[in-house]
Amino acid sequence: MRFLLGSTRRGGVAAAVLLGLLACCCQVAVAAGPQLRREEQSSSSSSYAPSYLVNKARANAVKQSFQISWNGYYKYAFPHDSLRPVTNSFADDRNGWGASAVDAFSTALVMKNWDVVNQILEYVPTINFDNTSTEISLFETTIRYLGGLLSAYDLMTGPLAVYGSGDTSNVTEVLRQAKRLADNLKVAFDTPSGVPDNMLRFGPPRKVGQTSNGIATIGTLVLEWTRLSDLTGNPEYGVLAQKAESYLLQPKNPALGEPFPGLLGTNVDIKTGLFLDGNGGWGGGDDSFYEYLIKMYLYDPIRFHEYGERWVTAVDSSIKYLVSHPTTRPDLTFLAMWNNRTLQFVSEHLACFNGGNFILGGLTLNNPAYIQFGLELADACHKTYISTATGIGPEIFNWQDSRLPLNATNNPGAPRDQAAFYNVSGFWIGNGQYVLRPEAIESFYYAYRATGNPKYQEWAWQAFKAVNATCRVGSGYSSIDNVNKPEGGGFTNFQESFWFAEVLKYSYLIFAEDDPWQVKADHTNQFVYNTECHPIRIASGYERTWNSKRKKGSR
Which residues sit in the known binding site for Ca(2+)? 531
CA 25, CA 19: separation in Å to the nearest integer? 11
Element (H, E) at 207: strand 206-207
Cα 105 from chain centre? 16
Cis-peptide into 535, omega within 30 deg: no
Rounded to 10 deg, the angle between the 455-471 and 368-386 helix axes is 30
CA 502, CA 534: separation in Å to the nearest integer? 8
Closest by Cα among 298, 299, 153 to 238: 299
CA 50, CA 175: separation in Å to the nearest integer? 35
Is residue 387 within 8 Å of residue 473, measured between CB atoms? Answer: no
Residues recognised as catalytic? 140, 287, 395, 439
Q: Which amino acid is at 256?
A: L
Cα 129 from chain centre? 24
Closest by Cα among 500, 481, 471 to 395: 481
Q: Which amino acid is at 442?
A: E
Q: Which amino acid is at 66?
A: F
Closest by Cα among 292, 351, 350, 289 to 498: 350
